[in-house]
Amino acid sequence: MKTPKPVQLSHDETAFVRGLVLYEDAEILALAKPAGLSSQGGRGQVHTLDELLWAFAKPGKARPRLIHRLDRDTSGVILTAKTKPAAGFLGKALMARAFSKTYLALVTPGPPEPRGGRITLPLRRVEEGREAYMRVCAPDHPDAEAAASRYRTLKAAEGAALLELEPETGRMHQLRVHLAAVGRPIAGDPRYGGALVVGGQPVPRLMLHAAALTFPHPAGGRKRIEAPMPPDMAGLLTQLHLA
């Protein structure tokens, strides 16, 4: 694999990404990714999180490596490896589904029925112009990918609910599509039918937050890292009496 060239970052960019650190040791670095920042491969002139990781590179050394991704408009915990052995270990653990991911989501028009359960609808990728979507499909479709998501309702209010979600698989947009498929799209997600106004309050972005990540640590044992909910989402939940 070709080694990426270092990216020159401004003082403000370096300070910004260093301010996102949730946890760091000799082998891993966990960050609280804000909504609106692409993990990798973003378009335009703004640097992606992957590029901003050059702020942590030692002279002549590679930057930390992303172990997984979050959608651009999803906030929360994202994990990187600081060494090649750690990256290999964590990559294998991710493929073996040894990671446990916990998300929080605001959905409308109320809690799902039943209020807790497991969604096991196969998904397939669809290209529409320059955009990629995931769609629910029949299990025997040639492009079908198995997908499973657990959910439970934490709190419900008039026309909305706060859910805790645990994806068992890691398909693109999985939680967003699964919730839309059961009639409870995530607020602020127009791509999959999410409301842009809830309870008279405008929704600033996709209301999906990666709240916690539990995984095997390269040095042994399991590690849990949590990311506090961003002010925009916390504020909206308070206004809707879901906090």
Query: So which residues are the catalytic ones?
Result: 71
208-216/75-81 β-pairing: parallel
* DSSP character at residue 212: E
Element containing residue 94 per DSSP (H, E): helix 84-95
- How many whole angstroms separate alpha carbon 39 and alpha carbon 75? 11
Query: What are 97's two structure tokens?
Result: 């589904």
- How many whole angstroms separate alpha carbon 197 and alpha carbon 207? 12
- How many whole angstroms separate alpha carbon 28 and alpha carbon 196? 37
- How many whole angstroms separate alpha carbon 20 and alpha carbon 16? 7
Which residues face 172 on adjacent strands?
none
Element containing residue 233 per DSSP (H, E): helix 231-239
If one counts every other C-beta atom within 10 angstroms of the C-beta of residue 212, the result is 18
- The residue type of 100 is S
